[in-house]
Structure 1
Amino acid sequence: MKYKLLALDMDGTLLTDEQQISAETEKWIRKAAAAGVHVCLSTGRGYNEAVPYGDQLDLGTPMITVNGSEIWKSPHELYQRKLFDKALISTMYNIAREKKTWFWAYAVEGSYNETNWTPDLLDRNHWMKFGYFTEDDEVRGEILSQLQQIGGLEITNSSPHNLEINPAGISKATGIRTVCELLGIEMSEVVAVGDSLNDLAAIEAAGLGVAMGNAQDTVKEKADVVTSSNNEDGIALIIRDYIFQEV
């Protein structure tokens, strides 16, 4: 087969709006895996939020979580992890307080937001990602401007209303490259599928970059192919028409 790795974003891509994998999509993923294609979940979610879906699909292949900050050799074996400087987490937390904006953060120890944040967490935990959510475009723009001035950050999003921040140089694309090294395949043999800016680098770097029908416009513009939406089995169509037909 021309394509040997299928890298799948989860929210807005693999999962329907009801947070489920449709029966049709699961059928085609299993068919691809049975044919020898490596199926890799590539998500901004933390490990505990992602691994149940990998288990549902019986995947034994590598998995990328937290936008590339964690790479799993298999769904239950950590390969590498990239942590934030705690001073940067402190700065981003202070921006959230200043802007009175909802925030969340992923650490090795768990996920946190303003409902369960306590001052002692900053030094105690090992941090991998920070995020903001606001539907106020002006406030979000101001936060983005502040973040860009800090440096040392990889800034993307997983929806038009949020910002997701990883350590500089960490992305799903770097994660997929590492997975390729583990599997002994080339980026040209990868199909990367997603819907948001945190998928963009992977979509541009892959042999076949696929945007979901519900993807942000920027992602659609950069993709090689635009498929159906996450609620219309867009992944199943790509597997059928591009992996098995090898268009």
Structure 2
Amino acid sequence: MVKEEEWMAIKLIAVDLDGTLLTTSNTISAETQRTLQEAKNQGIKIVLVSGRPLSGVMPYEDILGLKGEKQYAIVFNGAVVQNLAGDVLMSQEMDYHDFNTMLRLQRLSHVNLHFETTKCFWTLDRNLSVQMQINAALTNNELRVRNRDEIPKDFTFNKVGFTCAKDSDQIAKLWGSLPEWTFESYDIVRSLDNCIEINAIGASKGNAVMDLASRLKINPKDVMIFGDQGNDLSMFENPDFKKIAMGNAISSIKEKADFVTDDNNHNGIAKALKKFVI
């Protein structure tokens, strides 16, 4: 049980985007916006933590009034930490060898595969799933379709996404077919029923929040986190963070949380902050 005075010492609030900060219509509710800005005005650092690239996070940073080199975002599921001036503080990448490995894994089922970098998304697929197109559109990202021989040998990327149609069972098939060695070699999460995301080993939201807190000289016990899906699980495995699960969170997130708040459509973040912090 977390003591009341420990909640009041919060210095950094790390907030997932999709399914957490954002409603199902991809907006921030007015109440959640006001409450986060109040926390910011009290000197608490607000950090958005997402599987998206920075381009998909910046519109919401602007809404919250967060900008400049003293504000930060954790993107690509923790593979990259950037300030809001766009400077990269930390980056974990995969290379051409990993590129070829991902192409081999794609053959285990009928799924789309795309590679995410800080500049754009890349894919070799010609028939794109709606989910892949949505991912590019939601993140304001260019999606480059290329032939295999057009990918240079020095190609690096921060994250991989396997996707399929929402009514397809192919992501489930791929998840059940991934060899054991892949989980030992990469950070792999099933972030949605129709999406698997892969990062370099050790690249996770939990590790990135710890890294940023260390850079800012903030004790992990003074960090509060919000999340709902599999790519947030690494944050909920940290024993020091104050952990808030959204009401719409998956069961493995709720089981590790210190508190379960309301869902993302009913001001869950605002209600938790008013209860514990503000």
Give the structure-1-normalised TM-score. Answer: 0.90
Contact persistence 1:213–1:234 (CA under 8 A): yes
Q: Which runs of no fewer than 5 residues in structure 1 stay unpaired?
A: none
Helix, strand or coil at the partner of 1:12: coil
Q: Distance in 2 between matches of 1:229 and 1:87?
A: 41
Say yes or no: does 1:36 pair with 2:64. Answer: no
Contact persistence 1:177–1:187 (CA under 8 A): yes
Contact persistence 2:79–2:91 (CA under 8 A): yes
Equivalent in 90, 93, 97 of residue 83 of structure 1: 93
List, as ranges, runs of 4+ consecutive aligned residues in structure 1 with deviation greater than 3 Å: 121-125, 134-139, 141-145
Equivalent in 200, 204, 217 of residue 251 of structure 2: 217
CA apart distance, 1:196: 0.6
Contact persistence 1:107–1:125 (CA under 8 A): no
CA apart distance, 1:93: 2.5
Q: Distance in 2 between matches of 1:124 and 1:211?
A: 40
Match of 2:181 in 1: 149
Q: Distance in 2 between matches of 1:211 and 1:242?
A: 14
Match of 1:96 in 2: 106
Give the structure-2-normalised TM-score. Answer: 0.81
CA apart distance, 1:75: 5.0
Helix, strand or coil at the partner of 2:145: coil
Q: Distance in 2 between matches of 1:12 and 1:196?
A: 8
Match of 1:4 in 2: 11
Change (3 A) 1:208 1:226: same
Say yes or no: does 1:45 pair with 2:52. Answer: yes
Change (3 A) 1:63 1:75: farther
Task: Supply the AA of the counterpart residue of 1:117.
Answer: V
Match of 1:191 in 2: 224
Q: Distance in 2 between matches of 1:181 and 1:33?
A: 19
Contact persistence 1:63–1:75 (CA under 8 A): no
Helix, strand or coil at the partner of 2:56: helix
Q: Which runs of no fewer than 5 residues in structure 2 stay unpaired?
A: 1-7, 129-143
**Percent of aligned pairs with the same amino acid:** 29
Helix, strand or coil at the partner of 1:166: strand
Contact persistence 1:59–1:75 (CA under 8 A): no
Q: Distance in 2 between matches of 1:28 and 1:84?
A: 38
Q: Distance in 1 between matches of 2:14 and 2:88?
A: 18
Q: Distance in 2 between matches of 1:100 and 1:203?
A: 32
Q: Distance in 2 between matches of 1:98 and 1:140?
A: 11
Contact persistence 1:191–1:209 (CA under 8 A): yes
Q: Distance in 2 between matches of 1:163 and 1:117?
A: 20
Q: Distance in 2 between matches of 1:167 and 1:236?
A: 33
Q: Aligned-pair RMSD on alpha carbons?
A: 2.0
Say yes or no: does 1:67 pair with 2:95. Answer: no
Helix, strand or coil at the partner of 1:178: helix
Match of 1:109 in 2: 119
Say yes or no: does 1:133 pair with 2:143. Answer: no
Task: Supply the AA of the counterpart residue of 1:237.
Answer: K
CA offsets 1:124-156 (integer angstroms, 9 cap, x no match)? 642011121245557534445425323420011
Contact persistence 1:128–1:166 (CA under 8 A): yes
Q: Report the count of equivalent residues.
A: 244
